[in-house]
Chain A
């Protein structure tokens, strides 16, 4: 499997980036962290827009940078695509010429590929417009199409949704879902928004203070006990399930997942459709005994795997539902009063679940993706 190997040291005043990382070149790899964690610096170094003080970048066996052999590949010679936080379209060119800018210089002039990407991003009607006639969401879609069409080995996206309001984000996210499902091009996606990360990514890197706090497949990094940056409201887990049934009377969908069945509101998809379920830790509570006459539909037997207490009143409990694990956010007092211990059998009450279609070929199950 092809990878990007990054070993960088970069000193910029007080800030120090110190990274040693292997990124898989498939699906979407999320780089998550608070502002100032060094995500953008890392991305800019990979793109060649900034030069690290020392280090090495090896893409699929090719050495792009090395401070040892003094190798340095210029930005234009790196076959990558880059999507900036702002669309950064060329104001003097119409949408078509903007998209063709990279294509002319590096891409294969494949009309079918052009039509495919333009169609995937829903830009057929905008091709003759000028950038200042586009909405923020449209402009960012053009920027994404432009980056995808210069035949990159991978695309770097630096918070592509951060400059948009919620409505515009919702407008673009489905296109990114499609991209994830249909495009062959791997994406490295920087974001400080855990919802975007959980929705889009297969692999997750967590950065903190210029270093790597965690790296691995999304599901395991999210529930890893030491991923301290994912505490508080951001704590949660992602599991996969498939649609089993739809109850028309109550408008509920029954999902089959590793630990049992889960009911979610609405018609979540066709029978058999693979779905990605995001369960926030704060939506999961734990009981010693099976609750009776509860309004909560989803109550699953679980086993306590680990308990992590933060400084505040809360504790994060990782519970296993068979193959998959989820996180529950409870108070430290509850842990003490219920005397929760590792290995205890409990019942997890799941109050709500965010459901996304799992369109990716890669993300369905980790065992399947690792064979690629």
Chain B
């Protein structure tokens, strides 16, 4: 296996994880804010749905996504009508699947951060003339930066390493859906242990560095 082939799944994984992380921060922020503030009786339901991907086997999620996103599925057929392309076995399909799969890893740290803000900071901002939106961006977000850091690192790392959902929804198309974890599986299947070693080592180092950076920054923040 040459270096170009090695690089392609890695780059695809990084792209997938990057796009997913950006989207997840945007999606998870309002969900986490609502969960942190709400007294609604629907809150446990939403909490459960958001947390499901943590306990569900990836193959189960992947199976359902395959059905929903597939050309015959509710969302998939609509997409085919709209664009002429299928969502399954495409990069876009992977992004959607990853967003769902990694959602709890973005939402949880944000909920914790928003809850620890306390009401007082927001009330102070409102009495100083800030609208709710203004207070959110000028007070809540900057005071929750640690939560955002955790959310980014965990979403990115988790998406980088996903396997089951990708295999079910994306398959193994080089340059389109063949991400690093699939490539490792492939190499092991064909008994190409040297390439599997290289790819695995890259993932191991990336995962270690991401988590280490998060804990390191958190500790420094704590000291201040």
Interface residue ranges, A against B (CB under 8 Å):
47-49, 74-76, 78-82, 84, 86, 88-92, 101-102, 105-106, 132, 146-147, 150
Q: Does B120 contact A (CB under 8 A)?
A: yes
Residue in contact with B143 in the complex, picked from A76, A91, A132, CB distance below 8 Å: A91
Residue in contact with A88 in the complex, picked from B124, B134, B142, B224, CB distance below 8 Å: B124
Report yes or no: B123 in contact with A49, Cβ–Cβ below 8 A.
yes
Residue in contact with A82 in the complex, picked from B121, B124, B139, CB distance below 8 Å: B124
Q: In the complex, what distance in Å separates the CA atom of A147 from the CA atom of B125?
A: 10
B contact residues around A146 at 8 Å (CB): 128
Q: Which of B134-148 contact A (CB under 8 A)?
A: 134-135, 138-139, 142-143, 145
Find the A residue at minimum CB distance from B126. Answer: A75
Which 8 pairs across A and B sit closest by C-beta, in order of nearness? A102-B128, A106-B129, A105-B129, A82-B127, A75-B126, A88-B124, A92-B142, A88-B120
Find the A residue at minimum CB distance from B118. Answer: A88
Find the B residue at minimum CB distance from A149. Answer: B128
B contact residues around A89 at 8 Å (CB): 124
Report yes or no: A105 in contact with B134, Cβ–Cβ below 8 A.
yes
Q: In the complex, what distance in Å separates the CA atom of A80 from the CA atom of B129?
A: 9
Q: In the complex, what distance in Å separates the CA atom of A132 from the CA atom of B143?
A: 14
Q: Which of B123, B127, B131 has the most CB of A within 10 A?
A: B127
- The SS class assigned to the B binding surface is helix
Report yes or no: B127 in contact with A80, Cβ–Cβ below 8 A.
yes
A contact residues around B121 at 8 Å (CB): 88, 90
Q: Does B130 contact A (CB under 8 A)?
A: yes
Report yes or no: A101 in contact with B126, Cβ–Cβ below 8 A.
no
Report yes or no: B120 in contact with A86, Cβ–Cβ below 8 A.
yes
Report yes or no: A90 in contact with B127, Cβ–Cβ below 8 A.
no
Q: List 18 A-B contacts (CB under 8 A).
A: A49-B126, A76-B128, A76-B129, A76-B130, A76-B131, A76-B135, A80-B127, A81-B127, A84-B123, A88-B121, A90-B121, A90-B125, A92-B142, A101-B125, A102-B129, A105-B128, A105-B130, A147-B127
Q: Which of B90-136 contact A (CB under 8 A)?
A: 120-121, 123-132, 134-135
Find the B residue at minimum CB distance from A79. Answer: B129
Report yes or no: A90 in contact with B129, Cβ–Cβ below 8 A.
no
B contact residues around A79 at 8 Å (CB): 129
A contact residues around B129 at 8 Å (CB): 76, 79, 102, 105-106, 150
Report yes or no: B143 in contact with A92, Cβ–Cβ below 8 A.
yes
Q: In the complex, what distance in Å separates the CA atom of A74 from the CA atom of B127?
A: 10
- What's the minimum C-beta distance from A328 to chain B, rounded to whole angstroms? 43
- What's the minimum C-beta distance from A296 to chain B, rounded to whole angstroms? 49
- What's the minimum C-beta distance from B43 to chain A, rounded to whole angstroms? 22
Residue in contact with A90 in the complex, picked from B126, B131, B132, B143, CB distance below 8 Å: B143
Report yes or no: A76 in contact with B139, Cβ–Cβ below 8 A.
no
Q: Which of A75, A101, A105, A132 has the most CB of B within 10 A?
A: A75
- What's the minimum C-beta distance from A85 to chain B, rounded to whole angstroms? 9
Q: In the complex, what distance in Å separates the CA atom of A60 from the CA atom of B131?
A: 23
Find the B residue at minimum CB distance from A81. Answer: B127
Q: In the complex, what distance in Å separates the CA atom of A76 from the CA atom of B139?
A: 14
B contact residues around A106 at 8 Å (CB): 128-129
Q: In the complex, what distance in Å separates the CA atom of A75 from the CA atom of B127?
A: 6
Residue in contact with B126 in the complex, picked from A76, A81, A91, A92, CB distance below 8 Å: A76
Report yes or no: B128 in contact with A101, Cβ–Cβ below 8 A.
yes
Q: In the complex, what distance in Å separates the CA atom of A74 from the CA atom of B125?
A: 13
B contact residues around A76 at 8 Å (CB): 126-132, 134-135
Report yes or no: A90 in contact with B139, Cβ–Cβ below 8 A.
yes
- What's the minimum C-beta distance from B221 to chain A, rounded to whole angstroms? 11
Q: In the complex, what distance in Å separates the CA atom of A175 from the CA atom of B123?
A: 25
Q: In the complex, what distance in Å separates the CA atom of A150 from the CA atom of B126?
A: 12
B contact residues around A47 at 8 Å (CB): 127
A contact residues around B134 at 8 Å (CB): 76, 105
Find the A residue at minimum CB distance from B142. Answer: A92
Find the A residue at minimum CB distance from B141. Answer: A92
Find the B residue at minimum CB distance from A101. Answer: B128
Q: In the complex, what distance in Å separates the CA atom of A150 from the CA atom of B130?
A: 11
A contact residues around B135 at 8 Å (CB): 76
B contact residues around A90 at 8 Å (CB): 121, 124-125, 139, 142-143
- What's the minimum C-beta distance from A319 to chain B, rounded to whole angstroms? 44
Residue in contact with A132 in the complex, picked from B124, B139, B142, B224, CB distance below 8 Å: B224
- What's the minimum C-beta distance from A33 to chain B, rounded to whole angstroms? 22
- What's the minimum C-beta distance from A44 to chain B, rounded to whole angstroms? 9
- What's the minimum C-beta distance from B220 to chain A, rounded to whole angstroms? 14
Q: In the complex, what distance in Å separates the CA atom of A47 from the CA atom of B120?
A: 13
Find the B residue at minimum CB distance from A86. Answer: B120
Find the B residue at minimum CB distance from A155. Answer: B127
Q: In the complex, what distance in Å separates the CA atom of A78 from the CA atom of B123?
A: 13
B contact residues around A80 at 8 Å (CB): 127
Q: In the complex, what distance in Å separates the CA atom of A177 from the CA atom of B138?
A: 33
4 more CB-based (< 8 A) A-B contacts, given A75-B127, A106-B129: A76-B132, A79-B129, A84-B120, A92-B142
Q: In the complex, what distance in Å separates the CA atom of A84 from the CA atom of B118?
A: 14
A contact residues around B120 at 8 Å (CB): 84, 86, 88
Q: In the complex, what distance in Å separates the CA atom of A76 from the CA atom of B134?
A: 10
